[in-house]
Amino acid sequence: MNNSKLIIGSHVGFTSNKQLLGSVEEALSYGANTFMFYTGAPQNTKRSPISDELTYKAYQLMKEHNMDLEKVIIHAPYIVNLGNLENFDFSVSFLKEEVRRASQLGIKYVVLHPGASVSYTKADSIKSIIDGLNIILDNNLDVTICLESMAGKGTEIGSNMEELKTIINGVKFKNKIGVCLDTCHLSDSGVDITKFDEYLDLFDKEIGINYIKCFHINDSKNIMGSHKDRHENLGFGDLGFDTLINIIYNERLKDIPKILETPYVTPDDNSKEKIYPPYKYEIDMIRNKVFDSELINKIRNN
């Protein structure tokens, strides 16, 4: 297997004063060659204007380190819900602006939680998501929205292939829609990811493997089918290190960016304060392909 093809990174911050430059610096500090970020706090609508000067500096730094802008991901804020007919106009206008911001930053992929039906029927909610996407997706902008596969928590839409397929089928600009598969969510939704090639075969038949633009690599605190959506550090959860390594190094997925969204580590077992980012250590472990059972302690003691 050729390690140089591995495109690996994690969730990083995006602050108003350093913007993309700060995100690149953080990613580099983890030994990553790609990254994902929210363009502002995911739970509110406050967004600072993009500084093209900082973006340009970020590009220079990326170039020095052979980072490919095409593999960088933006995550849409989770306050938007295209599946809730009540807040439809707000979600559409906010997402449209996110897509514009992505385009200004030169970033091609925006990951979106498809939505949640809340008090509506699934069918109405899915129709609303399709309508929203058809308003937002702009064939003149080089930005693709990637629907994330969801755990199926509450009334979430997109926790099975059928729902993702229905949404994609309803979208007019097929070259502007994609999928982001999240390993924790897939297992939570009932997919046996130890047989990942079987899942990929089915995905290819139903949707098309070429629609997969991004991977979220997370272990899970819960067993398959639990619909809980609680991420765990690599190798410390129910999925296990070998299963995740097999997905990360799967030849059919080699050019697709793999993004870690594993939890920050607490100072000790009894603490709830998540303060240490695990990504540098997890990326190292992924590159070595050997599980380190002492990883959490190493992170704490550094």
216's contact among Fe ion, Zn ion, none, with CB below 5 to 8 A by partner kind, is: Fe ion
Written as six digits, the tokens of 60 are 């220079």
| Of residues 21-40, those binding Fe ion (CB under 5 A) | none
Name the amino acid, one letter, at 283: I
CA dihedral 205, 210, 212, 213 (to 10 degrees): 180
Site membership for Fe ion, residue 258 (CB under 5 A): no
Span interacting with Fe ion, options 10-18, 188-196, 211-219, 267-275, rule CB under 5 A:
211-219
Pairing state between β 144-148 and 109-112:
parallel
Distance in Å, CB of 199 to Zn ion, minimum: 18
229's contact among Zn ion, Fe ion, none, with CB below 5 to 8 A by partner kind, is: Zn ion
Site membership for Fe ion, residue 216 (CB under 5 A): yes
CB nearer to Zn ion: pick between 176 and 213: 213
CA dihedral 150, 154, 156, 158 (to 10 degrees): 50
Tell me 256's DSSP state. S
Q: Phi first, then psi: what are they for 124, rounded to 5°?
A: -65, -40
Name the amino acid, one letter, at 274: K
CB nearer to Zn ion: pick between 229 and 282: 229
Site membership for Fe ion, residue 182 (CB under 5 A): yes
- Residue 290 CB burial class (10 angstroms; 0-12, 13-18, ≥19): exposed
CB nearer to Fe ion: pick between 112 and 137: 112
**Minimal CB distance residue for Fe ion:** 216
Contact residues toward Zn ion (CB under 5 A) are 229
HSE-CB for 221 with a 13 A CA cutoff: 8
Distance in Å, CB of 174 to Zn ion, minimum: 26
282's contact among Zn ion, Fe ion, none, with CB below 5 to 8 A by partner kind, is: none
Contact 115, 157 (CB under 8 A): yes
Span interacting with Fe ion, options 27-35, 38-46, 50-58, 179-187, rule CB under 5 A:
179-187
Q: Which residues bind Fe ion (CB under 5 A)?
A: 148, 182, 216
